[in-house]
Structure 1
Amino acid sequence: MKRGCICNSVANDGPTEVFMKFAKILLFSLIAFSFVNCVELFQSKKKKDNTDALLAALFVAPNCGSGSVSDAAGKGTRYQFSGCSGDVTATLRAFGFTANGVSFGGGLQGTSNSSTILTNASSLSETGNDSKAGIEITYIMNQADSTVDALIQSTPSFIGPGVQLSPTVAKWLDSATAADFVTTASKPWTSSVGVPKTVCLEVHKENSKGHIFGWSIPCNLANRSTYEFEEEDATIKGGITDGRIGLKINKAVIQSITIYTTKLGLNKSIQ
């Protein structure tokens, strides 16, 4: 067998034949390089597609995500937290909330009044110079001294009218101060320690004051002809642009919150 056949072949070829052989080698190398790059590009795209699919799967997990609601109480958006896990800050940001001191565990777990969530923009509907905000909350109290402060026209600093919920009763919030309902007193209900409880709450901004009211049942079951608890002339800080929804979650779990964009109130009433 002859050795150095390639060299001998090149040496015996003329200039044209040598050029053609090296051109073929170069062309083959370019094709091989392009093929490798295409494979790597396809793999990178596949990895990205897989990542996107994983994120999509997380957001459609049962009982974790947001969806439209249209029922007897009106139209709005329901945020389900009971099935969520992972990075709570990133997930809530995707839902339109900022969060502090909360974690996932059967819902949004909070340990003190410093455990908060807040919508990152106004969630209120507007009618003339008035603004309306209605929400429904499903929660579980962990202890007898647990509370959830629902600020239903909150500023970014959690100042505004709303309702403070304890295991058995509701109080009204004037700014951040809790007091017994007087206009229509809140009647005690069965303890919500360790069991889910759903309430329907609303605040109407009427001129410069807030009208607070609600029911200790889901909004679509509420008797629209009367309020279960009510207070008028609550102080409102800031304007409509500060009309966010904020929760302070003290030793409690929020399983879901529904924010209605249409007013509740009495039938055909804008009280």
Structure 2
Amino acid sequence: MRTTNDRPLRLGRTIVLLIMLVSLSLGLVGLSATSKLDGAENWLAGVFAPVQKGFSEAGQNVGNFLAAVRDSQQLKAENDALKLQNQSLQEENAKLLDLQRQNDELRQELGFQKLRPDLINLPAAVVGHDPNGTSQTLLIDKGEAEGVRKDMAALSPSGYLVGQVTDVEAHRATVLLVIDANSKVPAKVQRTNADGVLEGQWQVGGRLSLKHIKQSQTAGEYVGKGDFVVTSGAGGAVPKGIIIGQVLSVDQLDIKQEQQADVYPPVDANTLDSVLINVGTK
């Protein structure tokens, strides 16, 4: 068993050995310059070559590792920069799409004004929908202070009837869409002038249904597939001649001596950013 007294002795031996190795190395360097110890130098080189190779490979591996770390950090930085750039491009693209949609709606409004110059319409932005999802309504940013009144017609920018005003506040109003089951609009078939009542069917899985159409007593039809359904103007709240939808199919109700038609609206009002409130005629 070694004691603590051996430690100074071992330390002294280590120091002596290091001094000898250093001296030997210096001597070999000097002799190498005079070419007197070529053989010994070659022998020592052969002995220490594996050690030197090991240190060299280890150094190279460390260098490769550090280079890989630097490359990884650079790639991460570049990836983060690309993510930021992509996010910025997506936001810019969304803004451009929104501007394009607004421009399209404006062009539609101008085109509709040319078709129906007799109508006075107030543009209103859509700011909300039914939060409960139990009815089909829009909330707009115009109200009584801007001239909006109950039962006024709400049109799409292209001039299709999408609903009627039901509730009015100072600077806001609620529009009940025509597809809601509580909506009933006096309408007629554009081709034949056959009268009916257009009722919403959203709560029962449909869109629109034109009901109470008098059955034809002749060979001609009062309503057929492809016919356009327009407002009749009955009651005076909604101007006549506004397109509401197009007939998809017709049912004959022999018991009531009436026809009933499934009607599809040409515009999805839930996708609109703005509507036109018809506040009067010229």
Normalising to structure 1: TM-score of the pair? 0.37
More strand by share: 1
Which protein is richer in helix relative to its size?
A: 2
Which protein has the larger Cα radius of gyration, Structure 1 or Structure 2? 2
Which TM-score applies when normalising by structure 2? 0.36
